[in-house]
Structure 1
């Protein structure tokens, strides 16, 4: 399939990094908080970029947008994160035009997720589009593309079993806790922070154990109280953190800081303590493992835990890919029509002007001229001619930009400007 882009000078790119090649530390360097995303979009707008989406999750950071060269997007990312261009190049990927479109479909439909069939990304994609729209940097191409990806995601979720069975990082966390900690129902569990995976892990623990000894601490206490009420947790003050760690058997860290929130100095425990760090970047200092009785597991290790459900999901990948291809083809057809429409419309208008002039001339010249029949025949010929041009422009081996320029030149077309 040929590459598609909207203008002669800009191509559509995806640039980014994800869990496949970038470890948690590198992903942490390139993660974007909301304020950074806002700043990045404003910078892009000032540079004349007219379409850009930004997503940053614990597993990936990606930019999808129009540029003369992908380095424009790479520089925007590096300018707004702690990562360098050299670090990015070590682990990154760059996709252009059709490949960039295909990648976004795979990401949005859970085929590129760390846990196959995880549809968490689709809500983040929606948020990304709404943010770009707010900054007036979401063009019709991006809007149609996002809607197509959302449509594919819904179809795959409803028509295949790729997301069947309980398997997620939160579920893997609970499985790990069960395997590692005997008599979990009698143990003290502390959740520090209100990150989504941490909350889901606690919800799963409550579901699968009879444990009523789960405590939540967050820097912002009112946020902790709102979440605690939903999950039936006890809330303690941030100042009680060290005391609560000392009393805990399991510490789940779900904070969203750019540097560690749990250090070696904060832990004074005399009994075994399992720490699950579910944060990106890592929020537990690695040297806590120097302490006797302390074991540390990070999100990336938990993501590698596969179960029967995950293996079962793989058999539905071809079904999901077929749905993506169908909806992607519809998007490409829309894109073609959008690209060629102004020229075909102008061509049709020019041919109709020629027809009207000729019919007018013949009606004055011939006494028995049937203008109604001549008009019908002429219209049909115009339809066939414009269809031939449209089919030519859609050809896989055609340089569409040169063909469009030639048609405009030959027929001296004036395109309507918005």
Structure 2
């Protein structure tokens, strides 16, 4: 019989941490760059885990996948980042089975985002999904689940206005700059690094400030030139950073480095400087605030900026949640079907065996027994019985695991089915990793 959970491991988990309980500094400790994410996948494969995806953004680091125990997944994050198990216990979460499925739906549809309705995360989930699949780490369950989340995300984007209006961290950055820097169109703006939020902020700056002397510096110059070509920016060499810093009125840092790239020792300022650090981990050392005239604003502060757009978006949460429930129900129905199909097939075989035995007995007893007619009638009755059981198992109010166990016990179906699996349990998994 196919494993009820579509994996050799019993439980589907969502584990990780996000902006809800972990501040930027802690999230930085647990962040995984592209190399670290791949190492997590390779290590998982080596350790026998057969289906998982890994996401790591400025707001969250999470793993969705099958394991015998959540610590197997927590360990993968901690061993490939600067985070510790002790710190994870303070700020991390562990969801399992249905609660894990619900969490993934909310994350992928922007309902769990720091900025409500931010759909960037679904693109990152798609990328993570593709990478796991390339390594053979996607089973039928996770394949169907991720595609269901993508479907829900698309429907919410098309059928509600939860993502309407220009609200994102990058737009909030531009709003902050415009409100706090006078004559921004004439000021010297320096973008250091070409991280995604930094690029988006730069695009918004060009669009909303009409500033035509924004300078871009990146360690990899050809990457900077590629971005500059699209936005008509000035590109300078990394070696010109110190000189460009002295001329800047606004500095946007999006380097994506694991350690600070800007601190007070490299700033020799003769005028005020507004610094926006749009990186996780933080790429600007807080000691820059010791310099008179320097204002440092971090991503977390910008993420908390709310406006009328966000308030309007909240009105569309019920519609988005209704779409999620519809798509999720389709997925659960499919998942339960995968679980109970072997039992229904076995039940039908058992009933056919019982019918054949009874037909043989009646044939011996009666000389004028109509075997052909009796066989037709018995097959119809068996089909009706199995349809009735299948209908019960499809009912969303049925406890599939208990019902399967009961059917197999009553009809003495020789299936090696574990006692009630945790697939339908919706409690949060309480961990003790000490």
TM-score normalised to the size of structure 2?
Answer: 0.90
- My pick for the range that moved more, 107-116 or 366-375, is 366-375
Q: Distance in 1 between matches of 2:326 and 2:144?
A: 15
Q: Distance in 1 between matches of 2:182 and 2:396?
A: 62
Q: Is the 8 A contact 1:29 1:281 kept in 2?
A: yes
- Structure 2 partner of 1:274: 274
Q: Is the 8 A contact 2:253 2:278 kept in 1?
A: yes
* 2:327 is aligned with 1:327: yes
Q: Over aligned residues, Cα RMSD in angstroms?
A: 2.2
Q: Distance in 2 between matches of 1:129 and 1:415?
A: 33
- Structure 2 partner of 1:316: 316
Alignment of 1:365-376 (within 5 A): 366=366, 369-376=369-376
Q: Is the 8 A contact 1:50 1:138 kept in 2?
A: yes
Q: Distance in 2 between matches of 1:80 and 1:314?
A: 37
Q: Deviations over 1:344-373 (max 9, x none)?
A: 112212323443454466567656544554
Q: Deviations over 1:240-286 (max 9, x none)?
A: 00101111111110111100011211111211111110000000111
Q: Deviations over 1:293-350 (max 9, x none)?
A: 1111011000111111111000000000011011111111111100111121122123
Q: Is the 8 A contact 1:25 1:282 kept in 2?
A: yes
Q: Distance in 1 between matches of 2:364 and 2:206?
A: 89
Alignment partner of 1:61: what SS? strand
* 2:117 is aligned with 1:117: yes
- My pick for the range that moved more, 222-231 or 6-15, is 6-15
- Structure 2 partner of 1:92: 92
Q: Is the 8 A contact 1:216 1:228 kept in 2?
A: yes
Alignment partner of 1:252: what SS? strand
Q: Distance in 2 between matches of 1:238 and 1:228?
A: 15
- My pick for the range that moved more, 4-13 or 307-316, is 4-13
Alignment partner of 1:322: what SS? helix
- Structure 2 partner of 1:83: 83
Deviation at 1:6, TM superposition (A): 4.9
- Structure 2 partner of 1:284: 284
Deviation at 1:400, TM superposition (A): 4.7
- Structure 1 partner of 2:167: 167
Q: Deviations over 1:364-386 (max 9, x none)?
A: 76565445543332222112222
Q: Distance in 1 between matches of 2:119 and 2:375?
A: 55
Q: Distance in 1 between matches of 2:238 and 2:327?
A: 49
Q: Is the 8 A contact 2:7 2:139 kept in 1?
A: no
- Structure 1 partner of 2:262: 262
Q: Distance in 1 between matches of 2:292 and 2:336?
A: 64
Q: Deviations over 1:197-256 (max 9, x none)?
A: 111111111111221010111000011101100111111000000101111111110111
Q: Is the 8 A contact 2:6 2:140 kept in 1?
A: no
- Structure 1 partner of 2:297: 297
- Structure 2 partner of 1:148: 148
Give unpaired runs (5+ residues) of structure 2. 417-434
- Change over 3 Å in CA distance of 1:155–1:31 after alignment to 2: same
TM-score normalised to the size of structure 1?
Answer: 0.93
Q: Is the 8 A contact 1:216 1:233 kept in 2?
A: yes
Query: What is the number of residues matched between the two proteins?
Result: 413
More RCO (CA 8 Å, sep 6+): 2
- Structure 2 partner of 1:343: 343
- Structure 2 partner of 1:10: 10
- Structure 2 partner of 1:212: 212
Q: Distance in 1 between matches of 2:7 and 2:397?
A: 18
Q: Distance in 2 between matches of 1:362 and 1:138?
A: 52
Alignment partner of 1:25: what SS? helix
- Structure 2 partner of 1:31: 31
Q: Distance in 2 between matches of 1:389 and 1:221?
A: 65
Q: Is the 8 A contact 1:8 1:401 kept in 2?
A: no
Q: Distance in 2 between matches of 1:55 and 1:93?
A: 15
Q: Deviations over 1:173-196 (max 9, x none)?
A: 000000110000001111111111
